[in-house]
């Protein structure tokens, strides 16, 4: 887009933006002739990705702002209007505690109500899994959650669930995108003006109804805790952080109801604060994010540290070692522990429909698959994202191929019950507390349980390596790298032979849609694998390496895992060089 066309697009966006602040922001850039900055604000427009819309808050169609939310919601409303039961079934709306989330959620409610769709909304910040649970319980036609989850403080996002309470997937995503494209300027989209937490105008009261947070969370707790099964009711000291998100109020109540009275929160991070003052990047996967919490856990002499991300759909864990040092567990390690605890043994001769159903994303550790198959479970891998994990789970259940037991992805996401068709950091926190309490009663901790799994299944270690992609258009550069990896892979990496290559961009016609074409290449190694895929949010390629080794006697799983992690990182770097990315 040249400068003249860009200027025309910017002027049109300004004219259609109902928010004076973002209008002024864009106009100032236009007046200054800041063409490079304007291009990043306008191109490409935000589209639904792995977990909905997500981007930096600011002016322009490539940013999260009121105009983007209004147009998106109108497109969603137009899509829903053509679905069966849309006028009688509600749309559930929730939000996290980011500074822009309340305004965005209010706009979503206002647009839906003006489109004559019944709206049920949470006026207070709530965990994303509570919205997903409520949508399923109400048999909603859709649900919207305004959240950027664990993204940096400057971002916000917009998750969309459809009638099955599962996040938007193909082919519906294309239909929704087309409906959004047909929406005119945001300023012309009808809205019911709602005062924040105030009375709804009389003509619309039957269309808009606030949901009581406590009532719905207690209902969630009753069903979820029952679904998790009996618990040990053993003493456990838990250190906890919500990383300035919504989790403390809800995790505290969940752990209390589960019998854990000694839960101590990191005081500086206890209350929701969208500015995230103690961490610039509120992602528990990032080592620096949990530094304050680890210091707190050590000072409190806790048995375990549990952390939720800002919208409480992910959970991270750390435990003390015998030396007193605290060790963070990876998402794959937590996944293996929960799989071990949650996947029941299928009795010999049981019909397929009675088998436990376990699922992971493609990039999650093969150890979880090994655990599932050892229990006789029906196991399935899917593309990245819980929208695909739950799409597969529901389809396989309908086909009589098992009953849902467990799903996870390595990025700290876990689903333990069929009551929430998404990842759920609250129920996972309770399940991890249960597991930690059982281990403590036996004089052990979670590291000991991981050692036992390593003795049974071998030591699996995982490493990630990211490489920025620059120069040519990102899509073209990524495609070229994947082409080289698929067509001319190295025959050896380090001391491991490359045994086979799978290009997920080219899939059989009969492949299930949760394993459809995706920009992903897998190299099968002797005793491991490497997967390559582009990031869904940044201009970079992600390399996932998983390696396996047997656990020798008188050797700790941790020592073997550290050796494998070093090797995995070296293999990733070697592959980067051989693909011409160094």
For the annotated catalytic residues, the residue numbers are 149
DSSP 260: -
Instruction: Return the beta strands (E) in 345-473 as ranges.
Output: 356-361, 378-382, 403-409, 413-415, 459-468
Nearest to 33 by CA among 56, 60, 58, 4: 4
How far apart CA 121 and CA 111 sit, in angstroms, is: 13
368: helix, strand or coil: helix
How far apart CA 117 and CA 119 sit, in angstroms, is: 6
CB 567 within 8 A of CB 465: no
How far apart CA 500 and CA 494 sit, in angstroms, is: 16
How far apart CA 50 and CA 68 sit, in angstroms, is: 18
Paired with 409 in beta bridges are 413
Burial class of 174 by CB neighbour count within 10 A (0 to 12, 13 to 18, 19+): exposed
The contacts of residue 462 (CB under 8 Å, 6+ apart) are: 330, 332, 365, 410, 544, 545, 546, 547, 565, 568
Given its phi and psi angles, is residue 90 left (phi above 0), alpha (psi -120 to 50 degrees) or beta?
beta
Paired with 360 in beta bridges are 381, 408
How far apart CA 480 and CA 54 sit, in angstroms, is: 26
CB 141 within 8 A of CB 91: yes
How far apart CA 341 and CA 325 sit, in angstroms, is: 25
How far apart CA 525 and CA 497 sit, in angstroms, is: 6
The contacts of residue 296 (CB under 8 Å, 6+ apart) are: 239, 241, 264, 266
DSSP 349: T
Round to the nearest angstrom and report the end-to-end CA distance of the chain. Answer: 31
User: 347-355: which pairs have CB atoms within 8 A and are 24 or more residues apart?
Assistant: 347/376, 348/376, 350/376, 352/378, 352/400, 352/401, 352/402, 353/400, 353/401, 353/402, 353/403, 354/402, 354/403, 355/401, 355/402, 355/403
CB 409 within 8 A of CB 544: no
Q: How many Cβ atoms sit within 10 Å of the Cβ of residue 500?
A: 10
Q: How many Cβ atoms sit within 10 Å of the Cβ of residue 171?
A: 8
Biggest distance spanned by C-alpha atoms of the chain: 74
CB 18 within 8 A of CB 187: yes
547: helix, strand or coil: strand
DSSP 187: G
- Residue 572: half-sphere exposure toward Cβ, Cα within 13 Å: 23
């Amino acid at each position: 887009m040249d400068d003249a066309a860009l200027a025309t697009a910017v002027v049109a966006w300004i004219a259609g933006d109902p928010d004076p602040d973002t209008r002024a922001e864009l106009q100032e850039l236009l007046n200054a002739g800041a063409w490079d900055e304007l291009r990043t604000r306008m191109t490409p427009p935000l589209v639904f990705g792995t977990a909905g819309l997500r981007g930096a808050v600011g002016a322009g169609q490539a940013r999260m702002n009121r105009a983007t939310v209004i147009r998106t919601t109108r497109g969603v409303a137009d899509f829903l209007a053509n679905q069966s039961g849309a006028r009688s079934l509600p749309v559930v709306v929730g939000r996290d505690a980011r500074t822009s989330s309340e305004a965005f959620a209010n706009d979503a409610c206002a647009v839906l109500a003006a489109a004559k769709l019944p709206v049920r909304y949470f006026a207070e910040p709530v965990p994303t899994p509570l919205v997903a649970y409520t949508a399923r319980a109400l048999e909603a036609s859709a649900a919207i959650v305004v959240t950027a989850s664990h993204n940096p403080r400057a971002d916000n996002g917009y998750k969309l669930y459809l009638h099955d309470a599962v996040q938007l997937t193909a082919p519906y995503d294309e239909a929704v995108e087309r409906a959004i494209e047909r929406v005119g300027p945001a300023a012309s989209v009808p809205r019911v003006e709602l005062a924040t937490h105030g009375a709804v105008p009389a003509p619309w009261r039957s269309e808009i109804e606030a949901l009581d947070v406590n009532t719905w969370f207690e209902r969630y707790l009753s069903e979820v805790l029952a679904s998790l099964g009996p618990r040990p009711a053993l003493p456990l000291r838990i250190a906890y952080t919500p990383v300035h998100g919504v989790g403390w109020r809800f995790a505290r109540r969940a752990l209390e109801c589960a019998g854990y009275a000694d839960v101590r929160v990191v005081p500086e991070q206890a209350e929701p604060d969208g500015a995230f003052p103690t961490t610039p990047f509120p992602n528990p996967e990032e080592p620096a994010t949990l530094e304050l919490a680890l210091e707190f856990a050590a000072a409190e002499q806790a048995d375990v540290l549990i952390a939720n991300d800002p919208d409480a759909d992910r959970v991270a864990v750390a435990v003390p070692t015998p030396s007193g040092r605290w060790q963070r567990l990876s998402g794959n390690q937590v996944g293996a522990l929960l799989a071990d605890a949650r996947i029941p043994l299928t009795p010999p001769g049981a019909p397929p429909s009675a088998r436990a159903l376990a699922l992971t994303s493609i990039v999650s550790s093969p150890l979880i698959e090994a655990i599932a198959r050892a229990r006789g479970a029906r196991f399935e891998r899917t593309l990245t994202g819980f929208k695909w994990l739950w799409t597969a789970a529901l389809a396989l259940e309908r086909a009589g191929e098992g009953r849902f037991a467990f799903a996870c992805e390595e990025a700290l996401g876990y689903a333990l019950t069929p009551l929430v068709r998404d990842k759920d950091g609250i129920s996972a926190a309770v399940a991890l507390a249960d597991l930690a309490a059982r281990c403590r009663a036996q004089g052990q901790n979670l590291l000991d349980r991981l050692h036992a799994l390593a003795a049974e299944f071998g030591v699996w270690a995982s490493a990630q390596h990211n490489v920025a992609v620059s120069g040519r258009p990102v899509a073209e550069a990524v495609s070229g790298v994947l082409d080289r990896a698929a067509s001319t892979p190295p025959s050896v990496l380090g001391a491991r032979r490359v045994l086979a290559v799978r290009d997920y961009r080219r899939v059989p016609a009969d492949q299930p849609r949760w394993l459809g074409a995706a920009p992903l290449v897998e190299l099968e190694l002797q005793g491991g694998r490497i997967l390559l895929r582009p990031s869904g949010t940044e201009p970079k390629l992600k390399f996932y390496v998983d390696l396996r080794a047997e656990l020798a006697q008188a050797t700790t799983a941790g020592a073997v895992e550290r050796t494998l992690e070093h090797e995995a990182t070296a293999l990733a770097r070697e592959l980067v060089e051989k693909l011409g990315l160094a």
